[in-house]
Chain A
Amino acid sequence: MLDDDLTIILTAGLVATAAGLLGPFLVLRRVALMSDAVSHAVLPGIVLVYLLLGTRAPLPVIAGAALFAIICVLAIEALRSTGLVKSDAAIALVFPALFALGVLGVTRYASGVHLDLDSTIYGEIAFAPFRTLAIGELEIARSIVLLGAVALCNLALVTLLWKEYKATTFDPEFSRTIGIPPALLSRLLLIAVAITAVTAFESVGAILVVTMLIVPAAAAYLLTNRLWAMVVVTVAVGWVSALGGHAAATALDASIAGAMGLVAAICFALALVASPSHGLLARAVQRRRRQREIQAALGTVAR
């Protein structure tokens, strides 16, 4: 039996780990907003499960949501791979369409039933300690078990296919010539994102997942030029946000997910300003130095 605060921090940390393993690849492939698209696109899955099975129990709902999350990412990938639509536009076309399908389903067949995203799939991290599973003698929060499993799967995916993902992320043409299929790997990555997102929505709510998939990775991208370092820094920033956000939320009596998101945003802002290689300060100093060098060079020529 874990302490409540510890459960919340551990849940958020596991979200940070699971998302942090995938986030860098999303940011590098310029599809960072995939997570936000998935958060809307799961609605028809929930509606479909309700219409077919008449239930709002968590497991079938997660399965239905995951199905449509996967449909969403694959549709985006298919639209993008025609080469006619940029990835951001593809995202902005697919998720409204799926969400609209879900809304139509609700109003046409399930009106009167309370079926919206907030109540069915989007959990609240503050409630994580109260939903527990018994494993043998041990009673443990369900979110920790689920998210731990997802984080392990992501770790396995990223470590086993590390070389392949590195090649396809930075140079898809090159990886095709050496026999690594970029489209297949891209689809696999996006499916992992979809499953991670759906599992985490149920435990901690949508906005924290979207934040953890984008903001730490963007901050890490400002701090390092090496892929492995970027992944490590991303996970670290995620954990810092989890710990700092929980502390801030307790101190201010504010929303935990919101506070964690804000701490992540502060980390990003710090990186943007103070990163030694890509930060605003470092670049201003560099610009000043170059200006002085050029002036000195011009001065010697003039004399």
Chain B
Amino acid sequence: MGWLIDLVPLDYSDAVVVLGAMLLGITAGAVGVLAVLRQRSLVGDALAHAALPGVCIAFIATGAKDATSLLAGAAIAGLVGALLMVGIERTGRIRPDAAIGVVLSSFFSLGIVLLTYIASTDNSNQAGLEKYLFGQAAGLLERDLAVMAGLAIVALTLVAIGFRALKTTLFDPAFAGAVGLPVRLLEIAMTALLVVAIVIGLRMVGAILMVAMLVAPAVAARQLAGRLALVIPLAAVIGAAVGVSGALLASRAEIPTGPVIVLVAVSVVIVCVLIAPRRGVLWRARRLARDRRRILAEGVLVDLETAIHAGPPLTAAELALASARPARALRRALRDLDRAGMLRRDGERLYLSQPGAAAAHAVLERRDLWAAWLEHGSRLGVPDAREPDPTDLRASLGDEYADRLHALARAAER
């Protein structure tokens, strides 16, 4: 890993932390998608608690704080806990969140009882056992980087090889079973992958950072992409970016690395939730406002058109009275129409300009067509069973069907 560390223009210890955060971000981002999409986002939190009895039993068995055996104990306890979660869910009644909660609290309770037992045996080695499992991002070593790089490669390879099967199992387990995929095996494989990634992550960077790194990149990527084949690599990239930027920020400001990465990750999620194209809260709000404004302007346009046919052109005040719209909305619609060049003014009186009249006729034609579709659409015998787009019926039905609809409507009027 030496050459990789040399590539980073930072001093040695900072470079190790930055690279570690990046590798962790890649792995956690990719496998986190599998957890988040199955509504098991908190599996990292649960395994952080579930590992405690494993650590205790390994300590009781070996009588020493040996890193390998404690980590193996934690991994085995984590795997047992994760399989119990899956098993409890499979019985059908208990949902993932409750299953995770039950496993979390029972394993941790068992761990506490085992801790009191260990304390009563007077083994002088036992101090700090409950904290042993949890590392800190700032304490990463070069040796850890190799483990993390290996983990990242294994995780990404497994996800890539099993992608189609994983996708089917994730979104439709019943269908996956019906087409002969080994659903149980895949579920166990996914869980095992998660457990290994989480336990290693816990030991190196601690529980809270691990929980956030599993979930945040996956949620952010989900806002930006709608296909699993894009979400997983995107989550890995976001994870890496968040890890690197958080670690750099922390070393610049000389504050703890883990919390900074968590805060950066959560901020990225908040930004994505707000402004993600087509999904984001602000994006949807803006589209809604724009649609409302357009529909209001169209309504006023039609009001003017009908008023012109009924009698002398109206003033703005008369229009307000006739259309019963709030004065502010009306002023705004008139301003929009003015700006689009659809109005002509003669003193106080309002006329439609050439393009304005054309636009009004287009709106009326659309409305007529929609009314005709609602009343006679069933008699049309459209070959496509999907609902057509109500905002532009002519384009989605095609001219031929639209003309036939008009003909049907005229025939019914007679």
Contacts and interface: CB of A to CB of B under 8 A. Distances in A.
Interface of A: 27, 30-33, 35-36, 40, 79, 82, 84-89, 91-97, 99-101, 103-104, 107-108, 207, 210-211, 214-215, 217-218, 221-222, 252-255, 257-262, 264-265, 268, 272, 278, 280, 283
B45 A33 contact: yes
Nearest to B96: A88
Contact of A89 (B88, B94, B215): B215
B98 A218 contact: yes
Contacts, number: 186
Interface string B86-129: 00100111111111111011101111110111001000000000
Given A84-B281, A89-B36, A221-B94, A97 B255 contact: no
23 contacts: A30-B95, A30-B98, A33-B42, A33-B45, A82-B273, A84-B223, A87-B97, A88-B39, A88-B40, A88-B41, A89-B215, A89-B219, A104-B260, A108-B255, A215-B101, A215-B105, A258-B111, A258-B116, A260-B109, A261-B110, A262-B106, A265-B106, A278-B91
A258 B259 contact: no
Contact of A268 (B102, B113, B212, B258): B102
Contacts of A87: 97
Given A27-B98, A103-B259, A108-B255, A92 B105 contact: no
Given A89-B41, A253-B116, A265 B109 contact: yes
Interface in B175-191: none
A82 B42 CA distance: 20
A30 B273 contact: no
B209 interface: yes
A91 B42 contact: yes
Contact of A253 (B100, B120, B208): B120
B38 to A, nearest CB: 9
B319 interface: no
B104 A36 contact: yes
Nearest to A261: B109
Contacts of B95: 27, 30, 32
Interface of B: 36, 39-42, 44-45, 88, 91-102, 104-106, 108-113, 115-117, 120, 208-209, 211-212, 214-216, 218-219, 223, 255-256, 258-260, 262-263, 266, 269, 273, 276, 279-281
Given A33-B101, A93-B266, A100-B262, 6 more contacts: A89-B215, A104-B259, A211-B105, A254-B117, A262-B110, A264-B109
Contacts of B99: 218
B208 A264 contact: no
B262 A92 contact: no
A82 B284 CA distance: 11
Nearest to A103: B259
B105 A97 contact: no
Contacts of B88: 272
Contact of B100 (A33, A108, A221): A33
Contacts of B260: 100, 104
A207 to B, nearest CB: 5
Contacts of A280: 91
Residue from the set A94, A99, A107 with the largest chain B CB neighbour count within 10 Å = A99
